[in-house]
Structure 1
Amino acid sequence: MSERHRSIVDVSLILWRDGRVLMLRRANASFANDMLCFPSGHLERDETVVEAMVREAGEEIGVRVDPAALRLAHVVHHTDEGVRGAGDRVGFFFEVDFEIDAVDGEPVNAEPHKHSELVWVDPHDLPADVVPYQAAGLLGHLDGTNLTLHGWD
């Protein structure tokens, strides 16, 4: 009998404003240091992915997102056996539009010990230093697909 597969579950927020998406530059990180990523984080015990996304938005960028406004944009099943700390994960990418949806507050770097800056980027011309797994989620969404298998042979 084979062992059950276990994955980290995480959530990422694609926050739109004026045709751009918000990303954070990781700092003091053991994984993907100095790279850009979406406001994101791991699912905690006894919370739904929606609750996790609302919590992470508050923790990382200081905004309150109405859970009903979150739209599931994409799912990524990722593996990267060769990168220490990356591991296997299933990522749920949610989107909201800052100007249309229920977002309270102005995005700020609410965790300066984890991020060095906020950057609004053109989703059709991503900087080279976006975490590849995160880029795969956005590009899959922009391509109109629901699921990306990233890092699998």
Structure 2
Amino acid sequence: MTVTSPEFVAGLAADAEAAGITGLVAAAVISRDGRVLLVRRNPDDYMGGLWEIPSGTVEAGETILDALHRETAEETGLTVDQVDCYIGHFDYRNSRGGTTRQFNFAVTVEKTEPVVLTEHDAHQWALPSELPEISDAVRNLIAP
């Protein structure tokens, strides 16, 4: 079963629901020349100043992959060309006190430039061995 099959994606959502997860987020790991695209949360946001991979909420009526494509475009201006693989999930406490599950996918984008930010104040292409201030969960996803 491929990571883009409706059955696989529905299974991810069903597992989260069965675990009592209240929010779903789709995230893109975008690489270029051995570096990973990171975006920094605005200082006045929840977890402000933290670097992260592009990600966003799965809206009602949307699949995880729909959200992956939409959020990547909204947050970076980049278009997902291909979903390469599912690289796992992690759970975290959200701003409303519930638990969010972030589903992470390695993707290929049509072009890696320009990066156009709408919800973050900075971006960088970081080497996995030289990461800025990011969560341990994201570090574990992308660092060797």
AA partner of residue 133 (structure 1): A
| SS of 1:70 mapped into structure 2 | strand
AA partner of residue 131 (structure 1): S
Contact 2:90 2:103 in 1 (8 A): no
Map residues 77-92 of structure 1 onto 2, 5 A cutoff: 77-80=90-93, 84-85=95-96, 87-92=98-103
Shift of 1:57: 1.1
Structure 2 regions of 5+ residues with no counterpart? 1-18
1:61 to 76, 86, 89: 76
Provide the C-alpha distance between the structure 1 equivalents of 2:104 and 2:67, rounded to a whole number of angstroms. Answer: 12
TM-score, normalised to structure 2, is: 0.74
Q: State the percentage of identical aligned residues.
A: 27
Aligned to 1:119: 124
Shift of 1:115: 1.0
TM-score, normalised to structure 1, is: 0.70
CA RMSD of aligned residues (A): 2.5
Q: Deviations over 1:59-113 (max 9, x none)?
A: 01101112xx112332223144xx75463122111112xxxx45146242330xx
Map residues 134-153 of structure 1 onto 2, 5 A cutoff: 134-139=138-143
Shift of 1:23: 0.4
Aligned to 2:35: 20
Provide the C-alpha distance between the structure 2 equivalents of 1:107 and 1:60, rounded to a whole number of angstroms. Answer: 12
